[in-house]
C-alpha cells in the first residue's frame, strides 16, 4: 500500500514535472517561433532598408549626374547666348566665324570644330574656320569633304544635320564622318543664310564617353541658325555699304559737275551782264543825240516843218523814248544782277505806295472801266524796301494786270502777314497765262504769243526786272494763273528791318 501510494506519488510528481516540462517546452517553442518570426521580419526590414539605401545611393548618383548635365547645359546655353549676341552684332563674314573660339566650344561641350561654305562659282567647299586641328589634319578633312561633297551638299539641300547619336539610317554616315574629322562624338549642323553661300558647321570631341543628346543637337542648330542669320546680315550690310559707296561716288561726281556747270553759268552770266551793260551804255549816247536832234527839229528851231515830216519826227521821238526806257530797264537788270545797285531800304506804308501807282494809272483804269480794289491787312501795314524800286515792282505788276485784263474787269491788290513777312498779291480777272508759258515768264524778253501782245507794246523785260528787285530785297515771286480766268502775281518782302 505504501509502495503503491509512493509510486502514485512519484508518478504524480513525474506527471506534474512532465506536464510542467511540456508546458515550459511549448512555451519556449512558442517563444522561439516568435523570435524566429521577429527575426525574419527584422531581416526583411533590413533587406528593405538595404534596398532603400541602395536606391538612395543610386538616386543620389543619378541626381549628381543630372546636376552635372544641367551645369553643362547651363554653361552651354550661356556660351550660346553670348555667341549669338556676338554673332548678331558682327557684320563681316570672317569675323562671324572668328567669334566661335575654343573657349565657347568647350562650354558647349566640344573641343574641335570646323566650318565650310559651298562656293557655287568654284564648285567646292571652302574652309571658313577651324578649331584645335593641326594643318595635316585639316588637309585630310578638306580632302574628305571634297571627296564626299555630294553627301554634304545633300545635307545642306535638305537642311539635315547629322550627329554621332546612332540612328538606323545614319550608321555608315556616322562612321565616315568620325573617320574624316577624327572625332568619336560629333554634331554637324547646316548654315543656311537666306541668300549667298550656304554650308555646315562640324563640332566634335575625341573622347569616347561623351554623350551627345538631342538637346546638344538643338543647341548647335541654334548656333548655326545664328551664324546663318549673321551671314545674311553681313551680306545685306555689304550690299548697302557698296550701294552707299556707289551713291557717294556718284554724288561727288555730280557735285563736281554741278560746281563746274555753276561756275560756267556764273561766268556766262557775268559776261552777259557786262555785255548788256556796256552795249546799253553805248546805245544810250547816240540815242540821246537822236532824241535831242528830233526834239530840236520838232521845236522848229531850224525852220518850219511840213506836217508829214513833223509826224515822222514825232514817231522818232516816241520810239526813242521807248528805246531809252528799254535800255534803262536792261541796264537796271544788269546792275541789280551784278549787285551794283544797292537797295536803300526804309519802312513804307504799302497803302500809300499802291494808291500812288493806282493814281498814275487812273486814266487807263477809267477808260477800260476796270475796278481796282485794295485790301491791306491790319497786321501788315508797312513794307521794308527801297521806295523807288518797290514802286517799279507795283508799276509793272499793276500795269500788266491792267494791260491783260479786258474792259470792265477787276484788279485787286492785297497784303497780309505770312510767317513774319509781307505777302503781296496782285490779282486780275484777265486773259491768264498758259501753263506752258508760266515757267518762262520771268525770262528776259519773254512775251506770251497771244492776240493781246500783238496789239500792245512791250519789251518782255518788266517781270524780269521785278524778279531781280524782289530777290535783291531777299524776297520771292511766283504766280498762279488760269487761262481766261485771271492771274495772281504774289511776292514776299520783309515787313521791317531784320
CA terminus-to-terminus distance, the chain: 169
CB of 409 to ligand ADP, least distance (A): 11
Q: Which part of the chain contacts ligand ADP (CB under 6 A), choosing from 48-56, 178-186, 357-365, 426-434?
A: 426-434
Question: Which residues within the stretch 374-413 sit at the binding site for ligand ADP (CB under 6 A)?
Answer: 396, 400-401, 404
CB of 449 to ligand ADP, least distance (A): 8
Contact 493, 384 (CB under 8 A): yes
Question: Which residues within the stretch 296-335 sit at the binding site for ligand ADP (CB under 6 A)?
Answer: none
Among 182, 196, 460, 474, binds ligand ADP (CB under 6 A): 460
CB of 347 to ligand ADP, least distance (A): 27
User: How many residues form the binding site for ligand ADP (CB under 6 A)?
Assistant: 21
Q: Which part of the chain contacts ligand ADP (CB under 6 A), choosing from 18-26, 86-94, 336-344, 444-452?
A: 444-452
Nearer to ligand ADP, 382 or 481 (CB): 481
* Phi-psi sector, 402: left (phi>0), alpha (psi -120 to 50), beta: alpha
CB of 328 to ligand ADP, least distance (A): 13
Reduced DSSP (H G I as helix, E B as strand, rest coil) percent helix, strand, coil of the chain, to 5: 60, 15, 20
Among 109, 228, 462, 475, binds ligand ADP (CB under 6 A): 462
Radius of gyration of the chain (CA): 56
Question: What single DSSP character describes residue 258?
Answer: H
348 phi/psi in degrees, rounded to 5: -125, 155
The grid cell for 214 is 538631342
The verdict on 294 binding ligand ADP (CB under 6 A) reads: no
Nearer to ligand ADP, 201 or 448 (CB): 448
CB of 281 to ligand ADP, least distance (A): 22
Nearer to ligand ADP, 253 or 322 (CB): 322
Name residues whose C-beta falls within 8 Å of residue 442's C-beta, 6 or more positions apart in sequence.
Answer: 463, 464, 466, 467, 477
**Rounded distance, CA 38 to CA 45, Å?**
10
**Rounded distance, CA 74 to CA 62, Å?**
18
Strands, E assignment, 286-401: 345-349, 371-376, 382-386
Q: Which part of the chain contacts ligand ADP (CB under 6 A), choosing from 13-21, 67-75, 231-239, 459-467?
A: 459-467
130 phi/psi in degrees, rounded to 5: -150, 145
Among 291, 392, 447, 473, binds ligand ADP (CB under 6 A): 447
Binding residues (CB under 6 A) for ligand ADP: these are 396, 400-401, 404, 428, 430-431, 433, 441, 446-448, 453, 458-464, 487
Amino acid at each position: 500500500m505504501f509502495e503503491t501510494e509512493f509510486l502514485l506519488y512519484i508518478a504524480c510528481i513525474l506527471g506534474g514535472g512532465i506536464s510542467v516540462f511540456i508546458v515550459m517546452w511549448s512555451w519556449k517553442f512558442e517563444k522561439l517561433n516568435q523570435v524566429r518570426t521577429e527575426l525574419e521580419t527584422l531581416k526583411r526590414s533590413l533587406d528593405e532598408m538595404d534596398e532603400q539605401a541602395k536606391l538612395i545611393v543610386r538616386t543620389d548618383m543619378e541626381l549628381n549626374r543630372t546636376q552635372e548635365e544641367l551645369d553643362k547645359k547651363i554653361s552651354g546655353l550661356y556660351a550660346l547666348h553670348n555667341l549669338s549676341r556676338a554673332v548678331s552684332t558682327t557684320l563681316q563674314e570672317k569675323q562671324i566665324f572668328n567669334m566661335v573660339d575654343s573657349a565657347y566650344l568647350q562650354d558647349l561641350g566640344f573641343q574641335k570644330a570646323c566650318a565650310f561654305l559651298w562656293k557655287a562659282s568654284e564648285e567646292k567647299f571652302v574652309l571658313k574656320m577651324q578649331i584645335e586641328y593641326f594643318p595635316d589634319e585639316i588637309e585630310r578633312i578638306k580632302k574628305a569633304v571634297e571627296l564626299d561633297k555630294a553627301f554634304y551638299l545633300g545635307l545642306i539641300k535638305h537642311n539635315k544635320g547629322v550627329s554621332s547619336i546612332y540612328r538606323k539610317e545614319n550608321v555608315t554616315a556616322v562612321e565616315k564622318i568620325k573617320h574624316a574629322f577624327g572625332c568619336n562624338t560629333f554634331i554637324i549642323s547646316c548654315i543656311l543664310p537666306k541668300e549667298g553661300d550656304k554650308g555646315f558647321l562640324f563640332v566634335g570631341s575625341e573622347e569616347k564617353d561623351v554623350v551627345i543628346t538631342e538637346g546638344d543637337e538643338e543647341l548647335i542648330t541654334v548656333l548655326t541658325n545664328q551664324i546663318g542669320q549673321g551671314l545674311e546680315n553681313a551680306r545685306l550690310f555689304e550690299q548697302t555699304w557698296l550701294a552707299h559707296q556707289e551713291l557717294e561716288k556718284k554724288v561727288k561726281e555730280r557735285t563736281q559737275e554741278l560746281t563746274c556747270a555753276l561756275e560756267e553759268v556764273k561766268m556766262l552770266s557775268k559776261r552777259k551782264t557786262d555785255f548788256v551793260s556796256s552795249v546799253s551804255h553805248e546805245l544810250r549816247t547816240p540815242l540821246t543825240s537822236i532824241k535831242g536832234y528830233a526834239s530840236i527839229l520838232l521845236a522848229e528851231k531850224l525852220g518850219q516843218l511840213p506836217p508829214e515830216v513833223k509826224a515822222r519826227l514825232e514817231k522818232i521821238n516816241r520810239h526813242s523814248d521807248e528805246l531809252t526806257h528799254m535800255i534803262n530797264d536792261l541796264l537796271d537788270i544788269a546792275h541789280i544782277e551784278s549787285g551794283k545797285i544797292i537797295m536803300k531800304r526804309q519802312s513804307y506804308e504799302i497803302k500809300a505806295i499802291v494808291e500812288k501807282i493806282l493814281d498814275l494809272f487812273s486814266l487807263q483804269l477809267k477808260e477800260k472801266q476796270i475796278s481796282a480794289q485794295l485790301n491791306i491787312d491790319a497786321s501788315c501795314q508797312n513794307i521794308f524796301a527801297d521806295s523807288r524800286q518797290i514802286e517799279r515792282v507795283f508799276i509793272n505788276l499793276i500795269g500788266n494786270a491792267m494791260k491783260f485784263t479786258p474792259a470792265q474787269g477787276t484788279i485787286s491788290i492785297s497784303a497780309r502777314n505770312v510767317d513774319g513777312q509781307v505777302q503781296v498779291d496782285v490779282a486780275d480777272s484777265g486773259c491768264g497765262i498758259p501753263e506752258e508759258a508760266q515757267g518762262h515768264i520771268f525770262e528776259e524778253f519773254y512775251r506770251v504769243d497771244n492776240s493781246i501782245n500783238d496789239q500792245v507794246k512791250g519789251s518782255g523785260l518788266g517781270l524780269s526786272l521785278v524778279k531781280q528787285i524782289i530777290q535783291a530785297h531777299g524776297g520771292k515771286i511766283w504766280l498762279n494763273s488760269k487761262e481766261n480766268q485771271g492771274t495772281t502775281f504774289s511776292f514776299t518782302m520783309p515787313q521791317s528791318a531784320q
